Chain A
Amino acid sequence: MTASRPASRRKSRLNPFVFPSDTSLRIILLFVFVIAADILQWSKLAIVRLDFARDLEKCLQGAPFFSMPIMQDLAKSQKCYTPLLSYQNLTIGLGLLLLTAATGTIYWWYPVWEARRLRLTPLDPAEAPGLSATLRELCVIAGLRHWPEFLWNPVNTSHLALAFGRGGTYRVGLTGALALLHHTDPAAFRAVLLHELAHIRNGDVERAYIAMALWWGFLLTAVPPYLFVELVSARSSFDAADAAGLLVEATLITGIVLFTRNAVLRARELYADARSFAWCRDEATFTRIFAGLRPVKGMRRLFSPHPSPARRRRLLDDTDEMFRFGFWDAFGAGAAASFIWVTFEFLVGAHFLQSLPMSMPIGTGTSFAVFVVPIAIWLPLVAGAASIAMWRTTLLALLRGETVRQVIRIAFALAAGVVLVVPTFLSAAILISATGGPAHQYVEQIAAPWSSILVAALGVTVLLTILLIGALVLFLQWVEACATSWLSVLLYSLSPRGPFWIGILVSSVLALSWFSLACIMFGVILYWLAVKHFSTLSIFWFLLIGNASFPANLITWVALVAFWGFPLSAGLWGLRGERKAYAEWPFLDAAPAEAPPIERPLRVRRALLIGLFGGLAAGVALPWLRLPLPPGALHEVGFPETALAAMIVSMALTSMAAQGAIAAVVALAVPKLLIPHAMFAAFVAGWLLTAAEALHLPTAMSLSSVVDVVLTPVVSGGALFALIVSSIMSALRLLADTTLGWLRSRHCACH
């Protein structure tokens, strides 16, 4: 079959299978939601079943349990909460066990049930020899290693084909009406069957049936037990408001799970379409088939298990939209992250509360562990997912000659998902109780007007969202820089897999490192804010000195080097021969014979030279460039008021400023990926400046002291300066480019 569309109108369709698909990302999301929702349901069941609120009230002698004094009184908390925690752990364990058993059973029996439901029997080749021969031919086209078993129900009058099965044993079922298409409309028959075989080739049959099994498993084992216990426990006092609340809650939770399940199913259909279009270029037939599908309009698109036929039709022309990270996918990933965070927060908190000795006060260490450990579990996952999305977006931008526009959108969606779903919901519930609303007896009351509380809550939400967006933009831009530098090389190589997966791993590890560092810094800042004598300089200095101790030093060095090391190491990847044509892997169809070469964005040598010469020049001039210290500065940073101490602090600050200046020069000197280049040059200069400063130190000073007092502050402080300067320069460059582009487009429009 050949395409009916003239070749000139077609641009090369990009291959959406080079990176992990949306189906994979969404099934992980579904797993997360289901497990977190199951834990939530069973923990609530434990509270209701034990009538824990009443017991807790008694134990706390009427004091609200959601109050600072109670939370800080570990002995009391342990005494009052232990009965619940043991029971709750048991019910959660039971709930997860039930969910696993139900999901596993449903998954196992689903194919059997599917065959029975559709009354399918094996297709005997003697019964329909022509049909069987065509099916064998299609299996060859699909390149399947293990052919599926074909089943049919010749008397089923609807048009349906279905790939199903489990664990590598696949079946394709078809109805009589569809089998008839083999005679009446062979092209349509081939198109539909190739789509089903594409599901097998894409490996999404298991994922689809796991998604279905998870949904039914959740619906059977998580929702009814809680509703039953709630209704039985509150027989006499249950009113309409309680019923409405329960209904809304159950609908919300099951709605989220259903929404995510259907997102998995929609995604897999699009990938099967993309695969089958590559095998069968009969666009007229596909167009005809899609025209015959039921349209999915408006908001139904978000909840339907089928993608809109119009969207499926668009994939015939190009697959570009499969490379863009959807807003709701990013929002869902953020919401899943906060859902897991809150769930694990609860589990880790309960574990700490049970296992800590009573004599131990709840201090910053415990709070830190309770706060950080759950985040350390989900952060690499979310960072990995966001990185995969950025690699896809960057590939699209490179091949289409566009700039990556999705960074802010993805960052906003992720941040909104994290902040607006679970934390906002929980905070709102607590605030309502704290201001005299329902369950007010359990929460410490706030004596402030509603309007002030609302304004403060909104302010905190907006601030958190903005902070998170800022951090995410920085992270995503870094991932984009890595993807740009590596893809500009890999587009001429046989496969992107190795560097891509290393990139995702590095992103996940770095996200965790940066988060840990940010937490440490935040903790230090909080500590110094609590101390009476502090200044900006002292906080800054102690942050840098704090990086000298383990494990902060290890995290800092890994984070610093990986920041520029991974993107710039693409420069070491040698390209053989002339770069006339791209590799085959980025394209679904044949690679374009003539394509504009992708400009390699790396100027590592330039950055290295600027770093070397800038560092050397600043190092030589260091004694004369020393920044003056404000009065009392040495005292603030805990140093004695001596000339040597003044020299160390002053030279260190000067070196940091010099690295900032070098970063600015590099940002002006390189055309692309300003931040990694600038950070690299600043790093090189930092070592030279450390060496220069060390020359002025007394020879008796030990190497470890030099590392702690000079090298660590100079290099890590310089990196901070370089990051700020290069980020500003990068933003200015972006602004200038956008303005120039706009002016040019206006100019063109005028003429």
Chain B
Amino acid sequence: MSVSYTSVGWNRHKRLYDAVLAGAVGAYLVVFYAAGKLFFRPPGSFADPVLLIRALGTCALVMLHVVLWIGPLCRLDRRFLPLLYNRRHLGVCTFLVGLSHAALVLGFYHGFGNVNPFLSLLTANTAYGSLSRFPFEALGLAALLILFLMAATSHDFWLANLSPRVWKGLHMLVYAAYALLVMHVVLGALQAERSPVPAAILAAGVMVTAGLHVAAGTREARTDAGCQTQSCSDGFVDVGSVDEIPENRAKAVCLPGRDRIAVYRYGGKVSALSNVCAHQGGPLSEGKIVGGCVTCPWHGYQYLPGSGRSPPPFAEKIATYRVRVEGRRILLNPEPLPAGTEVEPAAFEEPRA
């Protein structure tokens, strides 16, 4: 969290993440290049620039797969959450590797003629009606433009100025970029391949990516559909017992047709907040109380449980809900209060040790 503009709020975790990322990219390029030299000897060998073009292209595609796997993996297993913390760094790095691939392609294949390289790229082949001769470069260029748009707006500055809803919608374009890149490879590099192995690897990557997202989405839908609550006469609903919630943790309450609510238990009290973090929509019910504040599991944004406001000097706020405890049952009013509204936490007797 930050109240003023900083390019990157560096900390130990981010430095380590980026160092591992840079090392992995460097190692991939070296191994790909060395393997290309080792296994493809003349007459089937590739020129060095072509080998580098392929190394950068495959590296960017592998990185995009990893970017797309992180989200559903975190939904399916909380142990992947540390990968989510700096996913944007991975996304920006993916764009830079893809840009290097494109720059090399432009220079190597289009830079030595008497036509502007960009013009050459876009006009040399216009066989859009043919699958086998499709100008696959256009697909890669479109995907690169989307990745650029995402990298350029990845900073929290843009998130705050565009609003989380617009920002999220913009960044969901990554799925279009992924589809474009898959077809870029299918109609480009794979057209020259006689071996089925590259096609099989790409197909496996697509199946894993789509499978993870569909599995995570199905699980979320089942969670939404499986919620059972009992209504009371005064508009409150029984959402369970305080004993179901570990200390300093929360329970996600799903009500039909509504967004989820995070019900937190802490120090003999219960508070209810919107489950959606104001930053990137992280699931607050999967976070915990740290230093007296509800802490989002994605990027550590914090809120006071009684008001839904971030502690000063931060200004984020989320909706709160009226809640009370009868016996050990938690009763919740499902009508959200305006974001940042102070609500008295419901107190209950902690059992004696």
Bind each other? no
